[in-house]
Amino acid sequence: MKVSRLLLDALETFPNFVIIDKNAKIVYLNDSYANLLGISQEHAIGQPVVDIIPGTRMAEILKTGKPEIGHLMTLYDHTKQQDITIACNRMPIYRDGQLIGAAAVTIMQDVVHTVSQLNTELSAVRKENEYYKHELNMLRNQFDSLNRIVGHSTALTEIKQTISDYTASNLPILITGETGVGKELFARAIHELSPRKLNPYVKINCAAIPAELLESELFGYEAGAFSGASKTGKPGKFELANQGTLLLDEIGEMPLTLQSKLLRVLQEQEIERVGGVKTIQINVRIICCTNQNLQQLIREKKFRSDLYYRINTVELKIPPLRDRKEDIPELTEHFIQKYNNEHDTHVVGANTDVLQLFQTYQWPGNVRELEHIVERLCTINQNQIITPKSCGFLIDQISNTQQFLGNKIADSEPLLAKSEPAHTATSVPASEMSWNDLAQKIQTTEREAIIQALLQTNGNKAKAARLLNIDRSSLYYKLKKYNITK
């Protein structure tokens, strides 16, 4: 059986390649196989294959005439001086329908090592897959805007449902609430859940721009419209938000002259640039935010009633944090995770005494204030759980402002007023106080305040909750917690 030089060179590229004739004698054995067997190629040629390759089944191929694919066999590797398991293919060779020999080639060298390596690589792929699945879930949550609004209180759940009900519409929405409740977060959620989510989301703070510049910021201006104007003109926020959503933050600060022009834009869906003479058609959904009482501004002739009713088609009243304190633990955990990621800290969480302390505070700065306090606590407690020992500044703040449980109870005492002389806030610095004693005093004072409120309202829980400036669900929780049965 003669083989051309080119073919022989090609066969040398295969791992462990061997050819036998119909008498099961080796016709060709490539160099890699000879090295593995610890013999020379010349020695192998003409020898029975079973004498050269221990355990081979090539003679069986001559008997059956059928190929064997992926068969495992163990050989002693003289190059590594150890047994290895290889996987090989054995194929019969036919000419004119007659079986004239067989060939075999290794398809996997050292199966055990290869499988182990594959398992290692597979584990790495699985780990990477889990990472990307986690990242995908994070991205899904990121784009699921309602999930970014943290909390499951009744009030918040109702607001989320209202958002879901109206996101598909083009109705103007008015978002009201105190400073720091997160009104802009709700506005963005409305846009991202609406059919306009792929179009621009533009926002402007009406209180942050001088009145004389606000008009050009909103409606744009033509070239040379006023001194210092761009030579090419400039589009306003309405044009930039075309086909999308425009957030008018602090709408209560808008001058009356602009309120009139805004009303016309909402009715006609067209604008004119400052210094321009032609109208520009727009398609913009308006969301307005304010922390002011617009109805009071109407009575004071500071806000147009017709504009109020035009932007107030749907109103979202975002409750202050003090009215949804059941959301505080979830918000705290959310902010801890946020600042762990941002500052590379590893804060485990906040213990129950800290969460109880948070429940006693009225949070005049709302969610924003809670976020800033958690960020400060994460900085102090980089690799541990947050405890009351780190909260001296907040305890002093509660005591100094007398906002513990609200200040609507006339005779309500400051946080530490009933402490023993050795532990009073005036005689001992916060850093030297017994934190366990403090937590107990907080709970004692809270229990006494609830009992006092119930006595003043003759046991009327709804009135007592209003007197304490907390919602009824929080009051029922505390009644059960302190075993108050009145």
Identify the CATH number of the domain in which residue 57 sits: 3.30.450.20
Confidence of residue 423 (pLDDT cuts 50, 70, 90): very low
pLDDT surpassing 60 at residue 181: yes
User: Would you state the pLDDT for residue 439?
Assistant: 57
CATH number of 364's domain: 1.10.8.60
Residue 173 is assigned to a structural domain of this protein:
yes
User: Would you state the pLDDT for residue 139?
Assistant: 59
Domain count across the chain = 4
Each residue of 106-159: pLDDT tens digit? 887 666 666 677 777 888 888 888 878 766 665 555 557 788 899 999 999 999
Query: Does one domain contain both 133 and 78?
Result: no
Each residue of 362-371: pLDDT tens digit? 899 999 999 9
Query: Does one domain contain both 214 and 83?
Result: no
Say if residues 469 and 322 touch (Cβ distance below 8 Å).
yes
Query: Does one domain contain both 136 and 43?
Result: no
User: Would you state the pLDDT for residue 110?
Assistant: 65
Query: Does one domain contain both 155 and 297?
Result: yes
Encode burial over 163-185: b for 16+ CB neighbours within 10 A, e otherwise. beebbeeeebbbbbbbebbbbee
Residue 486 is assigned to a structural domain of this protein:
no
List, in order, residues 6 or more apart from 118 with CB less than 8 Å away: none
User: Would you state the pLDDT for residue 204?
Assistant: 95
Residue 185 is assigned to a structural domain of this protein:
yes
**Identity of the highest mean pLDDT range in 5-14, 115-124, 466-475:** 5-14
Confidence of residue 479 (pLDDT cuts 50, 70, 90): confident
Lowest-confidence region among 36-50, 190-204, 221-235, 382-396: 221-235
Confidence of residue 401 (pLDDT cuts 50, 70, 90): low
Residue 44 is assigned to a structural domain of this protein:
yes
Query: Does one domain contain both 119 and 167?
Result: no
Residue 312 is assigned to a structural domain of this protein:
yes
Confidence of residue 425 (pLDDT cuts 50, 70, 90): very low
Measure the CA–CA gap between 417 and 425, rounded to whole angstroms. Answer: 8
Q: Measured on CA atoms in the order 430, 368, 333, 132, is the torsion positive or negative?
A: negative
Query: Does one domain contain both 243 and 150?
Result: yes
Say if residues 26 and 33 touch (Cβ distance below 8 Å).
no
Residue 300 is assigned to a structural domain of this protein:
yes
How far CA 239 is from CA of 203, 204, 429, in Å, comes to 12, 13, 58
Question: Can you give the residue range of the structural domain that contains 258?
Answer: 146-319
Query: Does one domain contain both 349 and 279?
Result: no
CATH number of 243's domain: 3.40.50.300
Query: Does one domain contain both 118 and 162?
Result: no
Residue 244 is assigned to a structural domain of this protein:
yes
Query: Does one domain contain both 153 and 129?
Result: no
Query: Does one domain contain both 83 and 185?
Result: no
Lowest-confidence region among 125-129, 413-417, 455-459: 413-417
Quote the tokens at residue 375.
Answer: 């960020």
Mean pLDDT over each residue of the chain, to the nearest integer:
84
Query: Does one domain contain both 78 and 160?
Result: no
Residue 48 is given by DSSP the state B
Query: Does one domain contain both 311 and 452?
Result: no
